């Protein structure tokens, strides 16, 4: 049974995602999607065909010397801690290089994308801003934010992803059922040696079927990336737990960069949806520097398209508890005792009028 436990453990590690402070994971749960904000490690839905998109804000924050990278979300299989947080001045032309999902500025690790598509967007934006006038840089950043908050574009990419990966998701679910459920049952029934000898031909056959489905789906999502596809297929071939999570690599490439507010608007419902949108708006309003107004403007445009103006979203709740003295402006949790910040969202509390 040691083999079975090792297989489950390795697969569990593949389900882990590291989230920095400016990324949000949307995980499919029994009652629908649940949002989990960084920083820290989070577990995604273990079903191979489940959707676990990650929303990313701009991959840098302002510092005294220019912009500093807090990092961006990445999968366990690709994540390595950065050597140091790099600073970058958009007024000086930098040397920008990318290796897979890692973007370097002047040779130092600057940001790691949740996918290679996300890393390419980061690389392009930094390279186009290097040495340019500040107005040009701000215009480019505003265009990037407009793309990140475009609901129609994201929906179109999601529909294309669903069509391209229909077969892949089906064969991966079957493979996971056989490898993680039926094989352990057979090991317990007839012993590990006999079970493995009998199951090996079927496992090898389905492993190759999954690789073919992965190659087909990845070619549909990014038709020109032959070298990256070969690397993905090789990693999946030699390491079955990574093959079982291959759909999520394809999903990240197909969806590209997307703002958490877009995912909240499309994947959450009711109070959870409004609370997530409020949280993004309040974060943009509370930020300092030249980028915060650009993000707020993009979020205002997004909420208008959704039919939920910012003024209505940020309106205070109707007091439910007669003894409550304050409330969280993000999740609308009421507080009886005076407090500075919300225990759940870390937002400064507001007080009810006396």
Per-residue confidence band for 87, with pLDDT thresholds at 50, 70 and 90: confident
Q: What is the mean pLDDT of residues 314-332?
A: 79
Count of alpha carbons within 13 angstroms of residue 225, beta-carbon side: 20
Q: What pLDDT shows up at residue 65? A: 67
* pTM of the shown model: 0.83
Q: What pLDDT shows up at residue 72? A: 62
Q: Is pLDDT larger for residue 222 or for residue 71?
A: 222
Q: What pLDDT shows up at residue 131? A: 67
Given a cut of 60, whether residue 20 has pLDDT beyond it is: yes
Q: What is the mean pLDDT of residues 327-339?
A: 79
Interval 98-128: pLDDT, tens? 887 788 888 877 777 777 788 888 888 787 7
Number of neighbouring beta carbons within 10 Å of residue 309: 12
Count of alpha carbons within 13 angstroms of residue 334, beta-carbon side: 12
Q: What pLDDT shows up at residue 85? A: 57
Q: What pLDDT shows up at residue 79? A: 46
| Residue pointed to by tokens 């059922």 | 177
Number of neighbouring beta carbons within 10 Å of residue 152: 8
Question: Which residues make beta-bridge pairs with 37?
Answer: 24
Helix (H, G, I), strand (E, B) or coil at 67: strand
Q: Is pLDDT larger for residue 252 or for residue 67?
A: 252
Q: What is the mean pLDDT of residues 250-271?
A: 88
Q: How confident is the prediction for the chain on average, in pLDDT?
A: 82
Question: Which residues make beta-bridge pairs with 103?
Answer: 98, 111
Q: What pLDDT shows up at residue 257? A: 85
């Amino acid at each position: 049974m040691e083999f079975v436990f090792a297989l489950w453990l390795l697969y569990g590690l593949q389900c882990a995602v590291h989230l920095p402070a400016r990324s949000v994971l949307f995980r499919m749960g029994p009652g629908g999607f649940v949002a989990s904000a960084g920083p820290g490690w989070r577990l995604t839905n273990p079903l191979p065909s489940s959707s676990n998109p990650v929303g990313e804000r701009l991959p840098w924050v302002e510092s005294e010397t220019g912009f500093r990278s807090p990092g961006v979300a990445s999968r366990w299989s690709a994540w390595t801690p950065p050597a140091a947080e790099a600073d970058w001045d958009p007024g000086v032309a930098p040397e920008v290089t990318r290796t897979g999902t890692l973007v370097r500025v002047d040779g130092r690790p600057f940001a790691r994308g949740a996918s290679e598509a996300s890393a390419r967007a980061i690389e392009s934006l930094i390279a186009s801003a290097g040495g340019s006038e500040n107005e040009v840089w701000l215009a480019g950043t505003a265009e990037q934010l407009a793309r990140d908050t475009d609901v129609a574009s994201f929906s179109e990419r999601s529909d294309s992803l669903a069509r391209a990966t229909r077969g892949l998701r089906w064969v991966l679910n079957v493979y996971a059922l056989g490898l993680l459920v039926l094989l352990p049952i057979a090991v317990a029934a007839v012993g590990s040696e006999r079970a493995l000898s009998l199951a090996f031909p079927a496992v090898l056959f389905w492993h190759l079927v999954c690789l073919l489905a992965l190659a087909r789906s990845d070619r549909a999502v990014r038709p020109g990336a032959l070298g990256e596809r070969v690397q993905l297929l090789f990693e999946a071939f030699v390491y079955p737990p990574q093959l079982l999570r291959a759909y999520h690599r394809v999903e990240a490439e197909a969806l590209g960069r997307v703002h958490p507010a877009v995912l909240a608007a499309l994947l959450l419902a009711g109070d959870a949806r409004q609370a997530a949108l409020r949280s993004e708006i309040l974060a943009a309003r509370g930020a300092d520097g030249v980028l915060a107004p650009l993000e707020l403007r993009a979020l205002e445009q997004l909420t208008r398209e959704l039919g939920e103006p910012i003024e209505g979203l940020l309106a205070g709740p109707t007091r439910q508890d007669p003894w409550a003295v304050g409330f969280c402006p993000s999740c609308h949790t009421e507080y009886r005792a005076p407090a500075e910040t919300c225990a759940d969202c870390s937002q400064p509390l507001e007080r009810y009028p006396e």
